[in-house]
């Protein structure tokens, strides 16, 4: 297992290197002179040429692009992503300050999605082509088709505006958390529900499951002890991908519910042309995806011993 972990971590280095190149290239895609934009940030008067040149020299923008990239990459490796132009605080501080809110929202959406998808998906597979199966397939189709921002708006109009049961925005107690996490969870449950049903149906047709039934075991034991665990392997992989997707997709939900997470931070940074925060966010989210996929690989080995570390 140790050799597998080392090999997997080594194979991730080219991915991280490529991501760093793309992230650094974001600065070059911005229209205008970055040095002039940074020098004039937050000032009412236009900066002089000397000020612009001083910023360009301080940031190394007067050097060739390869040297600029190596200079920037060296700072990133040391944990220095620069300072926010808006707040003056370090980018790491801004990211880590807003990250807990986004993690809370993404985790809540994933838990709600699993809570809805697992039982319905299992029942849909066990009672194939029944009324329950037909209803679950329709619900999964609707959940996958409805845009999250539209669903969030409808939930706000109904539960917050019309009924007044829940607050419509902000981050506070449990009542503030329900609507945004439910919006994320309903969309996630649609994908997980269909995947659970398809995987369980495939496993239920395996020879060892038919043998367990031939031994006289109850259907409950056959499904829960013999069929469910192997069918969860693709689901675990999807959970990792969905969690990363929720971290990125929470941007829209955070805008709808004014949730103070990474989504609100990056939107405000884009509108304010805060380049260091935008670059730091892109790199940070990508690294989170890489770590999540690595953890998913290890979880797959635990669920299915047939997945060998040496292969």
> Is residue 184 in some structural domain?
yes
> Is residue 86 in some structural domain?
no
Residue-level pLDDT at 308: 52
Which range of residues forms the domain containing residue 173? 96-271
- In this predicted structure, the answer to whether residue 101 has a pLDDT above a threshold of 80 is yes
* The total number of structural domains that make up the chain: 1
pLDDT tens digit sequence for 134-162: 888 888 888 777 777 788 888 888 888 88
Average of per-residue pLDDT across 26-43 = 65
Which is higher by pLDDT, 246 or 305?
A: 246
> Is residue 174 in some structural domain?
yes
> Is residue 137 in some structural domain?
yes
pLDDT tens digit sequence for 248-306: 667 778 888 888 888 888 888 877 777 788 888 888 887 877 777 777 777 666 655 55
CATH number of the domain where residue 147 is located: 1.10.3720.10
> Is residue 286 in some structural domain?
no
Residue-level pLDDT at 311: 45
Average of per-residue pLDDT across 204-209 = 72
Mean pLDDT of all residues in the chain?
76
Which is higher by pLDDT, 30 or 128?
A: 128
Average of per-residue pLDDT across 87-110 = 84
Please list, in sequence order, all residues whose beta carbon lies within 8 angstroms of the beta carbon of residue 44, skipping any fewer than 6 positions away: none
> Is residue 132 in some structural domain?
yes
Q: What does the alpha-carbon distance between residue 72 and residue 59 come to, in Å, rounded to a whole number?
A: 9
Q: Is 271 exposed, middle or buried (0-12, 13-18, 19+ CB in 10 A)?
A: exposed
Provide the pLDDT confidence category of residue 1 given band limits of 50, 70 and 90. Answer: low
> Is residue 15 in some structural domain?
no
Provide the pLDDT confidence category of residue 33 given band limits of 50, 70 and 90. Answer: low
Lowest mean pLDDT, pick from 56-60, 66-70, 293-297: 56-60
Give the rounded percent of residues in the chain with a pLDDT score beyond 70. 80
> Is residue 189 in some structural domain?
yes
């Amino acid at each position: 297992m140790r050799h597998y972990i080392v090999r997997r971590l080594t194979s991730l280095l080219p991915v991280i290197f490529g991501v760093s190149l793309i992230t650094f290239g974001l600065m070059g895609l911005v229209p205008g002179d970055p040095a002039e934009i940074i020098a004039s940030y937050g000032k009412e008067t236009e900066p002089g040429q000397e000020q612009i040149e001083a910023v360009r020299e301080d940031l190394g923008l007067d050097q060739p692009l390869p040297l600029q990239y190596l200079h920037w990459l060296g700072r990133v490796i040391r944990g220095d992503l620069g300072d926010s132009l808006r707040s003056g605080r370090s980018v790491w501080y801004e990211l880590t300050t807003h990250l807990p809110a986004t993690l809370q929202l993404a985790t809540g959406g994933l838990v709600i999605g699993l809570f809805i998808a697992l039982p319905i998906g299992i029942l849909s597979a066990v009672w194939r082509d029944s009324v329950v199966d037909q209803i679950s397939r329709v619900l999964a189709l609707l959940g996958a088709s409805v845009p999250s921002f539209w669903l969030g708006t409808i939930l706000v109009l109904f539960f917050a505006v019309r009924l007044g049961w829940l607050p419509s925005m902000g981050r506070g107690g449990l009542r503030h958390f329900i609507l945004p996490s439910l919006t994320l969870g309903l969309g996630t449950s649609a994908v997980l529900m269909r995947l659970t049903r398809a995987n369980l149906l495939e496993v239920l047709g395996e020879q060892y499951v038919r043998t367990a039934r031939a031994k006289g075991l109850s259907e409950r034991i056959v499904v829960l002890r013999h069929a469910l665990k192997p069918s969860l392997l693709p689901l675990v992989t999807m959970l990792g991908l969905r969690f990363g997707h929720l971290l990125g997709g929470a941007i829209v939900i955070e805008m709808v519910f004014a949730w103070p997470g990474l989504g609100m931070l990056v939107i405000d940074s884009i509108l304010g042309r805060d380049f260091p925060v935008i670059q730091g966010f892109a790199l940070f989210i990508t690294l989170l995806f890489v770590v999540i996929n690595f953890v998913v690989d290890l979880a797959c080995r635990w669920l299915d011993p047939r997945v060998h570390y040496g292969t």
